[in-house]
């Protein structure tokens, strides 16, 4: 099945490149590559070790996930349970920070706080970071949501190097709406688990958001072009493989996340000189 999926993706890339998109080989393409959870297929995702490894390999784009503890501290963790990463029951939202700091991932790394993450990047100029707000209902009621958003915005932007780009992202429109109303200059991105469409763009416009992140599989290059004409910055996902990356480039995406950013970087360096990784 995995082989079939990879073959289908490669066919899609070839079709795109042969259907009038000769830029794939004749012209330069530029895209911002960023490491999904610090490069989740190449590292122990969302740990300081992951971000340090990826940074030392030359990556300057990252994505991470933010949750709030039972006693009101922001930490870096993707899942709504510990099962996959730690092999135990429980969740970030049901434990205090002190309890969480006693835990380790299956690979032996601690769960970092947002403060620890920001400290790591505070002296690293020129990076791009997406902070995904994991504000799942019903754990994040309006009071918790507002506290969470205020802390995340204040901490992230206070620690941001002058020449770095920090973007707050979410599938949940509630934090995007709240942040845009309270902090008009905040940089936001609406994530959708669907293809890019005019409906998605209209939803983003209603939130005052000019960045969208959609699934690449059914997105068309013409829709990406149209989104850019309307003033949007486009990011496509998922980025499970190198083939996913090349599909995103062929579609004209501005930003591409990847679970295998180092593998992508090496492939581009060795066999795709027409792509510039920003």
- Report the CATH number at residue 205: 3.20.20.190
Is there a domain that residue 163 lies in?
Answer: yes
Question: What is the residue-wise DSSP string for 41-82?
Answer: TTSSTTSHHHHHHHHHTT--EEEEEEEE-TTS-EEE--SSSS
What span, in angstroms and rounded, lies between the C-alpha atoms of 90 and 246? Answer: 38
Is there a domain that residue 109 lies in?
Answer: no
Domains in the chain, number: 1
What's the confidence (pLDDT) of residue 192? 98
Is there a domain that residue 85 lies in?
Answer: no
DSSP label at residue 19: T
Is there a domain that residue 77 lies in?
Answer: no
Is there a domain that residue 190 lies in?
Answer: yes
Is there a domain that residue 202 lies in?
Answer: yes
Q: Can you give the residue range of the structural domain that contains 42?
A: 2-66+127-146+157-277
What's the confidence (pLDDT) of residue 31? 98
Is there a domain that residue 230 lies in?
Answer: yes
DSSP label at residue 21: -
Is there a domain that residue 211 lies in?
Answer: yes
Print burial letters for 161-196: b (CB count within 10 Å at least 16), e (below 16): eeebebbbbbbbebbbbbbbeebeebbbbbbbeebb
Structure tokens at 176: 């995007």
Closest by CA position to 210, among listed 162, 169, 156, 158? 169
What's the confidence (pLDDT) of residue 27? 63
Model pTM? 0.91
Task: Give the residue ranges of the chain where pLDDT is below 50.
Answer: 1-8, 10-26
Q: Which residues pair with 268 in a beta bridge?
A: none
Q: Residue 154, SS3?
A: helix
What's the confidence (pLDDT) of residue 13? 47
């Amino acid at each position: 099945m995995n082989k079939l999926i990879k073959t289908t993706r490669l066919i899609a890339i070839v079709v795109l490149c042969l259907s009038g998109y000769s830029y794939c080989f004749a012209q330069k393409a530029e895209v911002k590559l960023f490491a999904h959870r610090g490069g989740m297929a190449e590292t122990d995702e969302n740990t300081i070790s992951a971000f340090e490894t990826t940074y030392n390999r030359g990556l300057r784009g990252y994505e991470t996930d933010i949750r709030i503890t039972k006693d009101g501290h922001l930490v870096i963790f993707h899942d709504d349970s510990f099962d996959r990463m730690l092999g135990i029951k429980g969740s970030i939202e049901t434990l205090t920070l002190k309890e969480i700091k006693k835990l380790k991932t299956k690979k032996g790394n601690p769960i970092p706080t947002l403060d620890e993450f920001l400290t790591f990047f505070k002296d690293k100029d020129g990076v791009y970071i997406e902070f995904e707000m994991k504000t799942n209902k019903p754990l994040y009621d309006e009071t918790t949501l507002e506290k969470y958003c205020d802390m995340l915005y204040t901490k992230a932007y206070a620690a941001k190097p002058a020449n770095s780009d920090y973007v707050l992202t979410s599938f949940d429109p509630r934090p995007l709406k709240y942040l845009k109303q309270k902090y008009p200059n905040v940089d936001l991105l609406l994530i959708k688990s669907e293809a890019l469409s005019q409906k998605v763009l209209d939803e983003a416009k209603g939130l005052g958001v000019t960045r969208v992140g959609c699934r690449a599989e059914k997105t068309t290059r013409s829709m990406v072009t149209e989104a850019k004409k309307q003033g949007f910055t486009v990011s496509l996902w998922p980025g499970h493989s190198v083939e996913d990356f090349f599909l995103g480039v062929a579609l004209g995406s501005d930003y591409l996340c990847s679970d295998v950013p180092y593998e992508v970087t090496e492939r581009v360096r060795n066999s795709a000189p027409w792509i510039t990784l920003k």
